[in-house]
Amino acid sequence: MNGPEALAGAPSLSLVAEFREVILKMRPRADAELMERACDVAARCHEGQLRRSGDPYITHPVAVATILAGLDDIAELDDQTLCAAVLHDTVEDTPYTMAALRREFGARTAAIVAEVTALDRLGRRPARNPAQMLTTITSADTRVVAVKLADRLHNMQTLQFMPQATQLRKAREVLDTFLPVAQQLSMH
């Protein structure tokens, strides 16, 4: 079997190693073992899942964490935040539980993932009001907002794989809600 299906069948050791190398280059003091463990768990949890592009799903949380690792100007972006970025979709999209996440990665990482998940759910409400969303997001913990913004940035980078109506809706949501938040946090 070749192509994305073959890659999705097992956690990619090269992806974990590459992620570890990138994180340590961007943040030399990062807890490499913690990052590797988070990546291993996320890869196992997302095993067999593909993005609309056909890429193994694990490429998304790794990209989100890599985006965050490159942000030097936000002091709150610590190892737990990067770990939460790697794990941000595990509880919502896989059988992995919040209790397991808390046990394996600590209460702080679990709290960030829980709050990112809550922001995701807020955005899916049919009668969502951009002003309400903006207020909710700006009142959230900076680490949570940073993970959500990096998540949305990576989703925008891969938007071409979505139906056109979804592309337009997501782009409008970014312009109305996420861009003002990113500007407020100086996340250009």
Q: Which domains does the chain have, with CATH numbers?
A: 4-184 (1.10.3210.10)
CA distance 78 to 69: 9
Catalytic residue among 93, 120, 141, 173: 93
- Is residue 93 annotated as part of the catalytic site, yes or no? yes
User: Which residues have a Cβ under 8 Å from the Cβ of 141 and sit 6 or more positions away?
Assistant: 76, 112, 115
CA distance 6 to 64: 23
Quick check: pTM over 0.85?
no
Find out whether 64 and 88 touch, Cβ atoms under 8 Å.
Answer: yes
Catalytic residue among 18, 36, 40, 92: 92
- Is residue 176 annotated as part of the catalytic site, yes or no? no
User: Mind listing the pLDDT tens digit of every residue in the chain (188 residues)?
Assistant: 333 333 344 445 677 788 888 888 888 888 989 999 999 999 999 999 999 999 999 999 999 999 998 886 666 789 999 999 999 999 999 999 999 999 999 999 999 999 999 887 766 555 566 666 666 666 678 898 889 989 999 999 999 999 999 899 888 888 887 787 777 777 76
Q: What is the pLDDT of residues 121-139, one digit of tens each?
A: 766 555 566 666 666 666 6
